[in-house]
Amino acid sequence: MTDKSGQDKLRQQLEEWRKGPLAGFQKRGWKETYTSYREPIKDIYTPLDFPEEKYLEKSGFPGQYPYVRGVYPTMYRGRPWTMRQYAGFASAEESNRRYRYLLEQGQTGLSVAFDLPTQIGLDSDHDLADGEVGKVGVPIDSLADMEILFADIPLDQVSTSMTINSPAAVLLAMYIALAEKQGVASDQLKGTIQNDILKEYFARGTYIFPPGPSLRLITDIFAYCSRELPRWNTISISGYHIREAGANAVQELAFTLADGIAYVKAALKAGLEGDDFAPRLSFFFNAQMNLLEEVAKFRAARRLWARIMDEQFGAENPKSKMLRFHTQTAGASLTAQQAQNNIVRVTIQALAAVLGGTQSLHTNSYDEAWALPSEESVRIALRTQQIIAHESGATSTADPLGGSYYLEALTDDIENKVEEYLEKIEEMGGMVEAIEKGYVQREIQKSAYEMQKRIEQEEDIVVGVNKYAHEEAAPDDLLEVDPRMEKEQIKKLQEIKKNRDEQEVEQSLNKLKETAEADENLMPAIVEAVKAYATLGEICGVLRSIYGEYQAPTF
């Protein structure tokens, strides 16, 4: 197939097929189809779309540049992905119980969901925390709460992912302090902090400080961890929420990689060596419904990042060029109607993540269009991953769909379209500027609105919503967070404040203030403050007083 005469012959026969058999059948029925980013899909894909002679350059082998076929040579035959269910609610006690339940059920890593006051650096007794404590995650006011959250969970034996952004340094400091109490050295700690502020400004909303100081906090963490926590993923550059906010697959990838580029530039500007911090960068993507397009997206992401790190930043260490990623199935695809259908949706999405070579995976629970998941629904979500891992055969060889003409064409197409976006963002002066101009927000909003219109015009079908709908009762065995939890948490906070050494707290906070003003690495001062049981709100309060708060424009 590689020689020119072979290609000509193929091209000719393809044309004949189009004019003959295809045209004949098209009269009986034919539908235009599109990718999520509205690119028309061809009638058929052939070796013309993925010529063999380009194989080595474009694909290579698993564990080798440009990593399209996976970041490790063995992939899932060496070790399955980490099964990691995002969880946390009500209180540290309740959440600890859920974690131990998930570990007993065969989960292999923890993923902590914090409540919104924690994510915004507010203590549970703050006015703005009213009604929010313990709702979408666990409330953490001080190290005392972390001690309860990880009770009976040895930190040298689990890897822990924490979805925390603006106050990531504080929660990481608490984890380090907790490990010390358990007698675990910080170089033994394995896990991830999300620590990805840029997407908070345009897709997720838990920002505190303006971009400048936020980027400093992030690069301080990079520098500190490269010395003290060599096995820690210092950031999880997240497309997940960008997609949830309404972006298509290309936008998800483009804006995520543009964020990644901004972090690399910030770290280099702060004087860090690329190959010191880049191997610990990790990513987080969404798995939506379009199975093959999503697989192509994951593959394109790996090739793009490898090329960016190699060509744009001149990375030497192969690990700096490997895009390792976590995946979560798409929350926005879950329907409130006929909620059990969501089990099937999650299965397809999880399969896309696995066929796309994910390093860890969270599967959503079927009842999440109604509430936080119940224990039963979480178990089914975890079992879904276990069925894929053990029964489906999807793990038998690396990148099993590689070489599919359609998939390879999609991988190339997504790569090209992402590069167009990246160039445009570069022309604007980079991602921070693109966000400040509202460009990114408007692009996402436009996609979200168009998607909704297609559903309402029944161009896109959502089973149980705009087709095959029927009357049914809403599920009634939902998880409820007891509103009394908030009062309990505030009482706990007051007790901690009563029993700590106030002088020590004050000294540590003063030291933190000096460090922040002096432009030194903030991490050691934050670790000292959390050890003195200074609260999250107090620590972030000191930083707020120096850095100010981000005021979001509305678009």
User: Which of residues 314, 403, 483, 548 is near another protein by CB under 8 A?
Assistant: 483
| From 26-34, 179-187, 242-250, 426-434, span contacting another protein (CB under 8 A) | 242-250
Residue with tokens 């400004």: 201
User: Which of residues 136, 270, 343, 394 is near another protein by CB under 8 A?
Assistant: 136
Query: CB 152 → another protein: shortest distance, Å?
Result: 27
Scan residues 303-362 and list those touching another protein (CB under 8 A).
332, 334-337
Of 44 and 344, which CB lies nearer to another protein in the complex structure?
344
Q: By CB under 8 A, is residue 524 in contact with another protein?
A: no
What CA dihedral angle connects 152, 153, 154 and 156, to 10 degrees?
A: 180
Cα 254 from Cα 260, distance rounded (Å): 10
Of 48 and 336, which CB lies nearer to another protein in the complex structure?
336
Binding string, residues 525-554; x marks residues near another protein by CB under 8 A: ---------------------------xxx
| From 26-34, 52-60, 128-136, 152-160, span contacting another protein (CB under 8 A) | 128-136
C-alpha distances (whole Å) from 323 to each of 61, 65, 144 are 15, 11, 35
Of 466 and 521, which CB lies nearer to another protein in the complex structure?
466
- Please give the helix or strand (H or E) that residue 238 lies within, else none: strand 235-238
Query: CB 441 → another protein: shortest distance, Å?
Result: 9
Of the candidates 235, 503, 240, the one whose C-alpha atom is nearest the C-alpha of residue 353 is: 240
Q: For residue 519, with 0-12 CB atoms within 10 Å meaning exposed, 13-18 middle and 19 or more buried, which class applies?
A: exposed
Cα 361 from Cα 380, distance rounded (Å): 14
Scan residues 440-479 and list those touching another protein (CB under 8 A).
445, 448-449, 452, 455-456, 462, 465-466, 474, 476, 478
Query: CB 488 → another protein: shortest distance, Å?
Result: 16
User: Which of residues 145, 196, 200, 415 is near another protein by CB under 8 A?
Assistant: 200
Of 481 and 529, which CB lies nearer to another protein in the complex structure?
481
Of 86 and 533, which CB lies nearer to another protein in the complex structure?
86
| From 156-164, 209-217, 244-252, 277-285, span contacting another protein (CB under 8 A) | 244-252
User: Which of residues 177, 245, 250, 253 is near another protein by CB under 8 A?
Assistant: 245
Whether 91 and 343 have beta carbons less than 8 Å apart is answered as no
C-alpha distances (whole Å) from 435 to each of 111, 248, 249, 274, 361 are 28, 17, 19, 25, 29
Q: By CB under 8 A, is residue 438 in contact with another protein?
A: no
- What crossing angle do the helices spanning 523-531 and 536-547 adopt, rounded to 10°? 140
Whether 186 and 236 have beta carbons less than 8 Å apart is answered as no
Residue type, 293: E
Q: Kindly state the number of chain residues that form the binding site for another protein, as judged by CB under 8 A.
A: 47
Scan residues 365-404 and list those touching another protein (CB under 8 A).
368-372
Whether 59 and 402 have beta carbons less than 8 Å apart is answered as yes
Whether 320 and 279 have beta carbons less than 8 Å apart is answered as yes
E strand map for 380-539: none
Of 41 and 336, which CB lies nearer to another protein in the complex structure?
336
Counts for the chain of helices (H) and strands (E), in that order: 22, 10
Of the candidates 77, 94, 78, 95, the one whose C-alpha atom is nearest the C-alpha of residue 86 is: 95
Which residues of this chain interact with another protein, rule CB under 8 A? Answer: 116-117, 119-120, 127-132, 135-136, 200, 204-206, 244-246, 332, 334-337, 368-372, 445, 448-449, 452, 455-456, 462, 465-466, 474, 476, 478, 480-481, 483, 552-554
